[in-house]
Structure 1
């Protein structure tokens, strides 16, 4: 089944279908039995990922190349934990509301871990667990949400093309051009390939 070579991203990024439980959002929420998702499946949804050297991010040539190739000119850092993030409880609730952005969401995990949840073509939730060294790009127009895992801590670099845009558009915002373009590029393309 596939290549025997292990993808080095597997140590810092895992993805699986979520159950429908309303238990603590910070739990893994695996289905029973567990249903893991491949990197190829994430690629089909427009979710890109890399494993980078988080200990040397300031001088990492791979990060530099990604930034140059994709035009990421602005970065900042965020630490999400009760001690470091003002209005923590309120913000973590906002992060976990299903939303989209009109630009890519690029996050590079430098310490800790957390979950990005995205929808597949059938509206099922896929949970993507990112740990130290994971760089993830969610395409503009994809519905998603974020939460910490039970460790309650992540430090991430946020990257942007030009000036940062923070606006989340809570679902439904299907009329936005970014959502329509996402559907045409990733969801409809996949449907025609599957026929």
Structure 2
């Protein structure tokens, strides 16, 4: 997982990194202190270890259901789907996401017009706290598979 401050008004392809200049990277601990976003590295090939970590996080966050979001070039109207997922949103429950394959970005906005980009890859588990403005996109490879966890009493989540 890599984390950095984004350009204030990023132009062009949103799938590019959009670092500020000079780049200003931050650690997962700094990200948590600034935004409340928690992250974990999971060995998705070690099912026992993965199951233990997921059970702990799911219990802490009161999530009991999941689905998969797969983004790839075979999606009809891929650009429209990416536009939809890139729209900033705020959820009223924690967003728990495990990257199963590929690479993507979750951007979080701790202050108005101040975005932090979190590059997630296979094995990254990220928890975006409720009430935090966020958005999602892929890298130029246009491929990611994300397992999204939620409380089944609420609606299925987006992004």
Q: TM-score, normalization: structure 2?
A: 0.87
2:85 is the counterpart of 1:95: yes
Q: How many residues align?
A: 155
Distance 2:101 2:60 in 1: 25
Among 121, 131, 149, the alignment partner of 1:131 is 121
Distance 1:21 1:123 in 2: 11
Higher share of residues assigned strand: 2
Offset of residue 87 of structure 1: 4.0
Residue 75 (structure 1) aligns with: 66
Deviations 1:41-69 (A, max 9, x none): 22121111111112244763222222233
Relative contact order (alpha carbons < 8 A, sep ≥ 6): 1 or 2 greater? Answer: 2
Residue 12 (structure 2) aligns with: 23
Distance 1:98 1:122 in 2: 11
Distance 2:154 2:101 in 1: 22
Q: Decide which structure has the larger Cα Rg and report it.
A: 1
Distance 2:90 2:78 in 1: 21
**Compared CA separation, residues 69 and 167, structure 1 to 2 (3 A):** closer
**Compared CA separation, residues 104 and 70, structure 1 to 2 (3 A):** closer
Higher share of residues assigned helix: 1
Offset of residue 32 of structure 1: 1.4
Asked whether the equivalents of residues 73 and 162 of structure 1 are also in contact (C-alpha less than 8 Å), the reply is yes
Q: Where do 5+ consecutive residues of structure 2 fail to align? A: none
Q: Where do 5+ consecutive residues of structure 1 fail to align? A: 1-12, 169-195
**Compared CA separation, residues 120 and 91, structure 1 to 2 (3 A):** same
Q: TM-score, normalization: structure 1?
A: 0.72
**Compared CA separation, residues 147 and 57, structure 1 to 2 (3 A):** farther
Asked whether the equivalents of residues 110 and 133 of structure 2 are also in contact (C-alpha less than 8 Å), the reply is no
2:56 is the counterpart of 1:65: yes
